[in-house]
Structure 1
Amino acid sequence: MTDPRHSGAGASAPDSLNDPQVVQHLKHARSLMMDYAQRVLPVFWREWCARLEDYAERARSNKEQMALYEYKRMIEASQHELEEDIGQRLSNGFVKFKNRMLNTLTGEERFSGDMLALVEHSDLEETIAITSITHRADSFFAGQLWALQQRLALLNGGEKIDERSNPVSPVQFCEALRKALLNITLDNKTKIIGYKTFDKEVIGALDELYEELNKYFIEENLLPNLRYTALVDDSPQGAEPSEQPDAGEEVPMKDGVPQRRASDRLLSGTATPADTQYQAGLYNAIRLLQNHIAHQVAPTGGAPGGSGPAGEPAVGATPYPSGGGKPYSSQQLVGVLQSLQAEALSQTQAAASQNEAGLVTTPQSIQTVSQQMLAQVAAESDEPGTVDPSDLDTIDLVGLLFEYMLSDDNLPDSVKALLSYLHTPFLKMAFIDKDFFEQTDHPARVLLNSLAEAGARWVSNDGTSQYDMYNKIKTTVFRLLAEFKNDVRLFAEVLLEFNAYTHNLARRQELMERRALEKVQGEEKLREAKQRVNDEVRKRTDNRELPSAVLLLLLQPWSDYLSFVILRYGENADSWRQCLKVMDELLWTLEPKTLEADKTRQLDIQDQVIRALQSGFDTIGYDQGKGKKLLEAVASLQKMALQSRRPEPAPAPMRSKLESIAAEKAGHSRVANEPVTEEEQKIVDNLKMIEFGTWFEYEGGRRLKVAWYNKRTLHYMLVDQQGRKVAMNSGLQLARDMIAGRARIIAGSTKPFFERALENIYQQLNAKVGGHSQEEAQND
């Protein structure tokens, strides 16, 4: 695997740094981090307490309400000490970094082997929360973190830096909070609310800190021209950063394809070390919860396959023969599944042939397959038997995996129904290959990710399919049902074939999307410049009565010139400041003068102002005739000012029209200027946090994807399933479409299907464990 490169002349850092220089840089970096903590932590405590109060108001009992208010009071009373504790731990991280002793873990290393049974349930849930937060943050800030870690490596003798040894990585903040909270007694629910708030208020704003740190290191000539470009991944462990760039920022590329989202790596089947670690932690946590459930249910005299409300199967429960006897072997279970797989093939083919479009619309019943398998194995056995608990857990887990698939909004209904028939071969795979759930790069897992991703990308709920993708998925499902016996290599073969087909499609789509993105980013950069210019001009013209000629000059040709200057030179350039000064001096020279000193000064500068205006007109190629008339009008108005006369202001209709044209030209839409309701504002705020790759489904089942959005202007680029730009909507317009029922978000996350499924299964089992714990407490 090759790393991203820093490129450009002068990219090299100083040849060597002596110890005092290293200490100086680390002290400054620590100071920036502590300043950041002092800014965001008070907001975090305030929001955490506000959320607890909100939960308390909606509590189901007085006891729960009083407990939440008590936790809120405890946090408020301990806030100062907790904040100092967090600050001290973050500061100590720099000391450990200097001594090359920083290696912060999330506690996930305990979720393996024999240690798993010793982990407290509260510790488990807390660790999963932290791992989830840091996993998302490492992906979201990947570009900034990568650059920062290259620069920190220079201060560490050239040794490679990762999130564990980076003193300002997300995990450092999360672990500092976790350890600080050991000083007070909080229940698990309150802690989880706190972590969610911490994620939003502290971790979510880390880009501010990373920008400050990278800027400082650049100014200090530590890899000043380091540039995040491409990541060529030649190994399964290759990491692909996926940050969300602002307007004008370069989007990371791989083989000419933009890599902006977590889902962009799915069709190639690669996973980062963070993905692997996180999913392994989830899987081990699920196994632990299954053990908890088995031990909680067993003492009641019921089987783990008991029933839930209204006689429905409980979460994580599969009916199985409960009589005594020898456990059925995996070979027996696999043999029964082979005949059920043949039935699934005939059912799928029949369902497809009965539909005019060849769609499979009726999904397979997951619970029925499990029941049929266990009933058939009992019928075929010579003597009564039981299912081994570990096999039962496997049956439950595969069942929950496919139950989640049937509820996944990310997948169109026809794709869900079709893929549900893979339940049988995947259950058989789990018995044949015991490593199936533990290996994130297992061909069967990657294939399921790829099939789901392709379905979400190229199949719509209105029945349409791009690039004949539905039929390709259907052919793949039929082949697995027909050919999979016990050779797991078939999945690798099918995966290679399917990904070869989708890779070129994904490349074409992404290149089309890339071209649209580059154009939109250029337009957004121009829009931002024009908005900034319009704001500067209006700041000087509002509340002033000005003649028509001056308003026309400032709102049209001079605004165009200001846009040119800010785009070419930036806001920090002397030329930009000089342009603003010319505008200020112009307006001053039009004010009636009564003092001789003011008249003298005006005579000194008015010709310079005229020349500066003429130079600006010439630069943008403004019509000479129109420019001459405007400048003559300005000269006439300056003469009136010297005579202490005030010119006639522009008529209100004309002024309103000129300002409206300028605002529209600057991209201030009429929708954005309309009053915003509380409900609309809440949705707009939520839209600020969605991931690139989030899908919207519009009326009729049409799907559009958020390919990119500008965090400053809140304009969202929507593309169709071929990667073509369809619209550039404001956040407010999207919010109104959602409220009116014209659009809905169908995917809040672009994680791989398998990872989303494991998270969902963990949440279901965790809720079940919590329900049992509550019942036991009430019985006690």
Structure 2
Amino acid sequence: MHNDGKVVPLHRAAGDQADRAPLARLPVILLQVRDKAAQQLRHGLQELFDNADDTLFEMADRARNDVDQNIFFEAMRDLRLKRKNIERGFLEQFFEAFASLTQYDPAADRLPRTRVIEESAPRTDDRERTVAVQTMVSRVLKRDGFALDQLTARFSALLGNRLENPHNPLGPAMLCEYFLQAGRNLGVEIKVKLILLKLFERYVLADTEQLYAEANQLLLATGVLPHLKPATTRRKSEHASADISFEVHDDPPPADDGVEEAFAALQQLLVHVRGRVAPTLEPGAPAQPINTRDLLRLLSHLQQYVPALEAQEDFDLRNQLEQLLTRVSVRSGKSRVVGTADEDVINLIAMVFECILEDRNVPDSLKALIARLQIPMLKVAVLDKSFFSRSTHPARRLLNEIADAAMGWSDCDGDARDSLYVRIEQVVQRLLTEFVDDPAIFSELLADFLAFTQDERRRTELLEQRLRDAEEGRAKADLARRRVEQALQQALLGEVLPASVLAFVQQAWSKVLLLTCLKHGDQSAEWQADVQTMEQLIWSVQRHDDAESSLRLLALLPGLLKSLRDGLSSTAFDPFATSEFFSALEALHVRVLERSDDTDRHATGLIEVSPEVLQQGADPIAAATPSAGVPQDDAGLRQVEQLRMGHWVTFDDEDGQALRCKLAAIIDATGRYVFVDRTGMKVLERSRTDLAQAFCRGTVRILDDTLLFDRALESVLGHLRRLNRGK
């Protein structure tokens, strides 16, 4: 592919090449064949790229993981940026192939490299691509090989030199080679390249019958090998009708049977709402419907005057169109109305947008932007009736993606400073200023918008994952603290202990237990050993009158002291405080062994551990007890059970402000539900009980995050069905 410093129109490039030496020696009729074929190939390439976004987006939808999905999204963006270069590179190589015909050497074996492959070669990316090309070429030769043979024979007669099919510039192998070479700078994975090759076969190679038939017809008309029997044209009537509609009709070519059938079903539902676009006409004057192209011109005129956001409520598209048709009728002297099919489209789009603008799930500030898309969406629907039946239509997807991205948009957000709001506003403005009648702009804007939202989604997901990890860690710590408090209560409650030992257990050994519980759990051997050490410490400082207990204490002390020191070391307890405690503990053990009267219940320095004493000395980081439960059949609780990760909800506060947030974490251990805003920042935390009560009060509701346009269309169709049944 050449990297020219300027863009040269293809027809001019063709003329420039015709003046160069090798090409100038080609017969004029071959130049005509080349130029005619170039028109068809250029049209096929344009169709390929127009449909590539749809195909790649569908592949991204079906991707099994984020990595594959990102591959397809990046491919969409790369393809859009390099589309023009690939189209130009393809046609440049096509012209060069014709230029080289004058230097063709039949003795040289110069097959295109894409056709040469060893069957025993490893299955690399190159091999996969080559196998795909070989399969495509074989299908074309099987289908249209006879017509290609005739074309090659006629080329040979004109050149005075024998030409082989693989070197015919219009042969399938050469066409594939142009495409591969033109796209060699695409930075995409092999799976994407194979998809593009399939699209090349569908939109370019599928029409080789017409390509060869027209080329043969041109050569036959000038007397080149007139005795050759023409190939049978399987789709002759189809091509003829396409040519007639293209040359004669001003309206777009008709849609396929499936689309027409689906739209006809919609029209049956719309019978009772016709007449809403009713311009003021001369009494008794016969109404003359305007054609679709004229309607599009009127809509483009209105599109330039779509009001600003604050005036959207006063903008009635059907009323505006009526007034415009009235003025057109007065100027032309003919009563002009909208055709039935176009009126049905207008009514259906108007009702869908009315439904969207009444949808409680759509943020109010977004509704004003969406309202401005009504005319562009109407024009797309007028041009392409599959807009209503194809959920993957780029215009529908763009609207749905905008609504999905803004699901968490609170009206209290600063719109002017919000990057998402600015991006959506840019999309709307581009459609209003640039969209005339080429729907390709929707695919371009969709790819850009998806790239933008994908970047934002990655950042949000990273923040949400960090939040989940932090919340789960906090919940685990809370449960561990609660378990430590239970262990302390069981060991201390009702005992009479020296104040220093009680303080040590509550303030120092509780931390040892907490660390062990967090690291190993409360069912582990380590936990049992630390609890046992605590129990042994408590027993060791109490009065024992029997000799057997004294002997047991003497045997217990070495292991007990070692366990205490090891535990304190694991928590990095203050060495000075540790030394002081062990000195005091040694004195306590000496008095116990001497059976001193100081160990009597009423002696100074002893404390009887009661619930109040435990509460006073409790670690302030201990967790609070969970809130009270609610009945299992509670209506609010049933709604809580329906909440899933990623669900959007809206909370109404006392001031009437609505806060939209997404459920980012459900902490099963504590029964807490954590909510974030659309940037991934934590905004709320509620217990199951609190949420259930909020649902019962109606201060929280789950938002419907299904596709916006599809939801609105289904609602309108349901209304129309009920209306027809009522008639």
Q: Report the TM-score, using the length of structure 2 for normalisation.
A: 0.50
Q: Report the TM-score, using the length of structure 1 for normalisation.
A: 0.47
